[in-house]
Structure 1
């Protein structure tokens, strides 16, 4: 390290494989860093930031290098070592941290431990979720939060399923149509799993199920290949003429990894009332009861009028479906 007027800097040239995580040991990716006069190398980073004369940070402390605060890379190294130890299993983060933040963490960890240990045995980086519609922003007052999904009538686990449909290292484009498709897929999975929900779990011995579990394990072990894992979960859920207890145990094992709660939620749970709805579930049920009476009396004009009334209120009437109705969701 070396001291400059504004703080203490780490000399990255002292780390022989600096940037290996980002597959780079040159200046690429450093354009996001503001240049600092006196730095020996563009990649060098602050271990300690000294407060400027007359400046008062919200949080600052005295140090041998002046009053100030630790660099943000250092904060992560200190927290992870305090709570997880000097060498833990998996360190995750956004793909934007692969070029700068995480290489700096690794350099600090190696210097502190006087070893080649990076601080974690595996570093994993997820790609971005992007919205190309331009409709979401803080300025517009609408940006992606779980509460926004609920307000629009989407069960939150549909969003989880949508994310699992793409590999974590692949960019995922968000759209309400895509979320709606994921919700439909989740509904089908819940319906397929329902017959096995109350069965007594039994260790899978059926070759069809053990083969699926082996393929599932291989997919997850293949850099968390969740898109393939999902298709195997669907295959297991759709399997007919098989022991219900073995099927339940198989679904439980797969869902323990994917976290879709297939064996605890019911189809009706996925029916979330949108914030903009002008009608309650009780009012819908009452209208459907009147419509049933009208149909029994062969008063089809009244039946159609009641159906149109529900459609106008954002309700989808599902004749012949045990659920009876659902919300018509819009973006």
Structure 2
């Protein structure tokens, strides 16, 4: 599966700072010091509806991670999946009388277009669950050989008790885990499971649903968590730098995935940091497909909204915060974009070196994009009030905003 085209990232003078970011697993900030190649895995969409502002906020956060790393002169090995076969996709296809593969292709194409318009840097590897199945099957078989998986009416489940580190990503108690498991794709009340929290690794073929040859597992399709594990281990290996996604993925998805990988490899941890973006609400409720309260990037684009303004609206909120999308949020972003573009269109301005370092410092400090915006705002205010004599300053500001915030002025 192909990703989307990359926009050029301007090189800035000097060098950026190492990223200090909040790790869900430790509950504290950690300073990441990758090698020459930083490794990032971010969980992708289930393509039955794309791309709402909650998606955009999540991928915006991890685009900033890449940009901070690139500014330190590192390369970035970024991997993202597409869950292109799953119950929600099949249910939407059946409801609307669509072929599920055509629906997945349609929504994935739209997602790529939105990411291109927003100037999100693409992953090096963009992998669909379906194409990953040949690598998933041996992992499930191996877990079964290790005694970490068991069969239940032809389905195969992972035993969470096989991983001594289970629970160390989300740090939730059993009652909270059980509740979230039921809400987020699990089946804690299914009779016959060894532990209510045990997740499915391989679902035996159901009548009328797609299935694939699973070797000794029989025909079926993979569970959600093992999909990402197979892709991450194949392309990044264990101990990669950041496992990312929305905060609703900390449990069960990232918790279960970590346990799968740790049992398979005998190594700990799967990722050096688990990083989670907050949720975006509309009209007081979390933006989600089930509630139908979605603001789509593609719809805003069709309405003539500049994608750069959408990115500035996202940057105005710290990535870990839960916040609400409103018309005022967008109006503020449009006004900021107009001010910034007017300021850099002048032939000279006040010196911009301090602004560059302030933006770098803000982003290196747990991706503090609101403070980065404030640093640019301060330069713009000086430009508006008194101008300046540095002919290079507007270009420096433009390149900094482009390189570190992904916004073209």
Q: TM-score, normalised by structure 1?
A: 0.67
State whether structure 2 residue 107 is matched by structure 1 residue 107: no
Whole-angstrom distance in 2 between the partners of 1:104 and 1:149: 35
8 A Cα contact 2:177 2:197, kept in partner: no
Q: Deviations over 1:92-115 (max 9, x none)?
A: 211111110011111111122211
Give the alignment partner of residue 2 of structure 1, picking from 126, 134, 150.
150
Residue 174 of structure 2: aligned partner: 26
Q: CA deviation at 1:250?
A: 4.3
Give the alignment partner of residue 15 of structure 1, picking from 139, 163, 166.
163
Give the alignment partner of residue 335 of structure 2, picking from 155, 180, 184.
184
Q: 1:133 and 1:150, CA in 2 relative to 1: closer, same or farther beyond 3 A?
A: farther
User: Which structure has the larger Rg over C-alpha atoms?
Assistant: 1
State whether structure 2 residue 345 is matched by structure 1 residue 194: yes
8 A Cα contact 2:402 2:408, kept in partner: yes
Whole-angstrom distance in 1 between the partners of 2:239 and 2:156: 25
- For structure 2, the 5+ residue unaligned runs are 1-148
Where relative contact order (Cα < 8 A, 6+ residues apart) is larger, the structure is 2
1:109 partner SS: helix
Q: TM-score, normalised by structure 2?
A: 0.55
Residue 193 of structure 2: aligned partner: 39
8 A Cα contact 2:346 2:394, kept in partner: no
Residue 274 of structure 2: aligned partner: 123
Residue 369 of structure 2: aligned partner: 226
Whole-angstrom distance in 1 between the partners of 2:344 and 2:393: 12
Q: Deviations over 1:190-237 (max 9, x none)?
A: 11111259x9xxxxxx9x644333332221111101001100022233
State whether structure 2 residue 318 is matched by structure 1 residue 167: yes
8 A Cα contact 1:129 1:172, kept in partner: yes
Q: 1:140 and 1:9, CA in 2 relative to 1: closer, same or farther beyond 3 A?
A: closer
Residue 227 of structure 2: aligned partner: 75
Q: CA deviation at 1:30?
A: 2.3
- For structure 1, the 5+ residue unaligned runs are 200-205, 263-331
Q: 1:63 and 1:139, CA in 2 relative to 1: closer, same or farther beyond 3 A?
A: closer
8 A Cα contact 1:10 1:45, kept in partner: yes
Whole-angstrom distance in 2 between the partners of 1:193 and 1:148: 29
Whole-angstrom distance in 2 between the partners of 1:62 and 1:167: 43
Whole-angstrom distance in 1 between the partners of 2:261 and 2:391: 50
Q: 1:196 and 1:110, CA in 2 relative to 1: closer, same or farther beyond 3 A?
A: farther
Give the alignment partner of residue 147 of structure 1, picking from 271, 278, 298.
298
Residue 95 of structure 1: aligned partner: 247
Structure 1 segments of 4 or more deviating over 6 A?
Answer: 136-142
State whether structure 2 residue 211 is matched by structure 1 residue 64: no
Whole-angstrom distance in 2 between the partners of 1:179 and 1:102: 32
Q: CA deviation at 1:148?
A: 1.7
Residue 356 of structure 2: aligned partner: 213
Q: Deviations over 1:71-121 (max 9, x none)?
A: 111111112223334443322211111110011111111122211131x33
